[in-house]
A and B are shown apart, each in its own frame.
Chain A
């Protein structure tokens, strides 16, 4: 929803959004901006890791949470002691910080895997899903947004805007449910769930260098049937998650094209007799894309949240699906580890997005 509010990026207090004319302090090189912006990752990650640690630990230690009632009390106490969960919280906190600093996000409780391994194993699937979703979002959102701006305040505009709100208002799991019902169960065109049929999955895993990104792996097998199978599995999850973002893109493009249409250079184009369609297509379209790049940073957060729900709906075995499994198993070490690691990923992506925005738009500087 944040995207509705002109999408302030995390630094908008200092780096004005691209749409706001003029920043407070002109000057200051790009390099300086990048360095300061990079250093700001550290407090962000630190705060999130700290918040998550204390919140999760305030419920008690993870061993009792997972095993409480199933083990005799003395056995439970022994395990808690072995894992160091009976030490003062502050001691545990600094130990945890030290671990995180060295890239150790803990070991999952239920299946004894390093959280970093979980990320590497399942991250690829989430990345692939996010990639499909972004493609859908661009193909659907950007042209429709331009169309809405062109038909501004007419019936078509209203219809498109309601479509955009519907995209946002439909929870991904409900969209997924409807898509499954129509295209998999009633029409039987597409598979119900999963990332590929079991046979193809085995073929891809026996490759020399499986990437975990099935589309790439499928091309590696060189079998068009496998590629087709992987793509068929990707259609519904990609659409379910992609439409969520498409609505945001549509709205953004519309708003920005409309505001660029009222600028002087567009007005001068209009007075020279440039057609309205050409004005939208050629003149107002490009500047309107800059905010999209800024908003992409926020979309990553939205996509990750949406991915948890989409993956659960379609049994897409990615990070989100895995997180939901750990939640069910009350494996809070895993939950804390994955959440902390996602915090790092979100912080880094936001940094990259902000730098790209600064490269494109010279007004975004410190």
Chain B
């Protein structure tokens, strides 16, 4: 047994640098052909979105709630695209281009708040539920399943009524939208983390940690949590794109952020529906395209990560090229990570603890 533990580290692949182990970078190197093209496209669009969101004040020629120019003259309502307003003006007299640019900032803020909140709460609940088990687990599972099965938009509507009563300031609105979205996505993080926690709980390294007397909290966060996070980047991208759609849906139904507090694409589309019947296309086209483009970009990233994680879907050449690295990111619970005899034998130190325990027994 001691000889095995000693020989295994020698057989391991050379340790890769931190840079190449970062979630997305690793996949980028692993991918080939069409898949790499999709991943790169997604990353480029997402990066563009982030840049626009950060530098919105510099890019946008006017404010999101600005109704008249420096000369004090009103922009006018539903003006067609012109040099002064390259994408025209809305029925409310706002500049379409500026509102689309500012909208990126709103969308990005909502995504960040929503995803951080739901990761935090979902992961915590998932860990507790999966590791401790018992009746807490059963109750949480049933509650999350019930919420999970329900139309997300309806739940978000109910939440936004509760939080803001349907009005609000910039940050009030962003938080209301984000929290509404959070409630909807907690079950997803919860499920994934719980499933991982249940699997990891049975691993021998957790058992040995227990025997050496590590506290429940320490085991949960040091051993179980650290080993259950590899699916998070994937769910993160998937949820970020859905958060945008939910935000737009809320805005479209009039439960988003007031136009004077922030620019929001869904709200602008709602106002544009009536314009369409009179042939005014510029008020709806651009905010809509913005939503499609951002969701497309983020989804391309998520989709590529998903495929690269699943050996059955990965490009054939890539399988051969990177078969040695499959274990690093699989999302299949109990997939390639469960070598016969468990992974813990591969980790120096764990086996020794195990030895020591056996002697005492």
Cβ of A76 within 8 Å of any chain B Cβ, yes or no, is no
Please give, as numbers and ranges, the residues of chain A lying within 8 Å of B257 by CB-CB distance: none
Give me 17 other A-B pairs in contact (C-beta within 8 A), A10-B148, A44-B146 excluded.
A44-B145, A55-B159, A56-B158, A153-B33, A169-B295, A170-B292, A171-B269, A171-B292, A174-B288, A176-B273, A177-B272, A180-B276, A186-B279, A304-B151, A305-B249, A327-B157, A339-B158
**Bound Cα distance A347, B285 (Å):** 37
A308 touching B276, Cβ below 8 Å: no
Residues of B within 8 A of A346 (CB): 149-151
List of B residues within 8 angstroms of A165 by Cβ: 296, 299-300, 303
| A268 CB–B CB distance under 8 Å | no
Bound-state Cα–Cα, A71 to B9, Å: 78
- Name the contact of B153 in the complex, choosing from A11, A176, A305 (C-beta under 8 A): A305
Q: With a CB–CB cut-off of 8 A, which chain B residues contact A108?
A: none
Report, as a range, how many residues of chain A touch the other chain. Answer: 35 or more
With the chains together, A336 CA to B91 CA distance in Å? Answer: 33
Does any Cβ of B come within 8 Å of A154's Cβ? yes
CB within 8 Å of A: which B246-272 residues: 248-249, 252-255, 266, 269-270, 272
Partner of A259, one of B161, B255, B273, B312: B312
Instruction: Pick from B150, B239, B300, B315: contact of A1, CB below 8 A.
Output: B239
Chain A residues near B145 (CB, 8 Å)? 10-11, 44
Which among B33, B188, B292 has the greatest number of chain A C-beta atoms within 10 A?
A: B292
Give complex CA distance A137, B241 in Å.
21
Kindly identify which residue among B35, B253, B291, B299 contacts A312, using a CB–CB cutoff of 8 Å.
B253
Which B residues are within 8 Å of any A CB, using their own CB?
33-35, 37-38, 141-143, 145-154, 157-159, 161-162, 165-166, 188, 191, 195, 234-235, 238-239, 241-242, 245, 248-249, 252-255, 266, 269-270, 272-273, 276-279, 281, 284-285, 288, 291-292, 295-296, 299-300, 302-303, 306, 312-313, 315-316
| CB <8 Å contact, A44 and B142 | yes
Q: For the complex, is A140 an interface residue (Cβ under 8 Å from B)? A: no
Q: Is the CB of A5 within 8 A of B150?
A: no
Closest CB-CB distance, B10 to chain A, in whole Å? 34
Residues of chain A with a CB closer than 8 A to B195's CB: 13
Which A residues touch B312, using CB under 8 A?
258-259, 262
Q: Which of A84-92, A155-163, A283-291 contacts B (4 or more CB under 8 A)?
A: A155-163
Please name the residue on chain B nearest to A174 by beta carbon: B288
Binding-face segment, A45-53, A218-226, A272-280: A45-53
Nearest residue (CB) in A for B317 is A153
Docked Cα-Cα span, A171 to B244, in Å, equals: 10
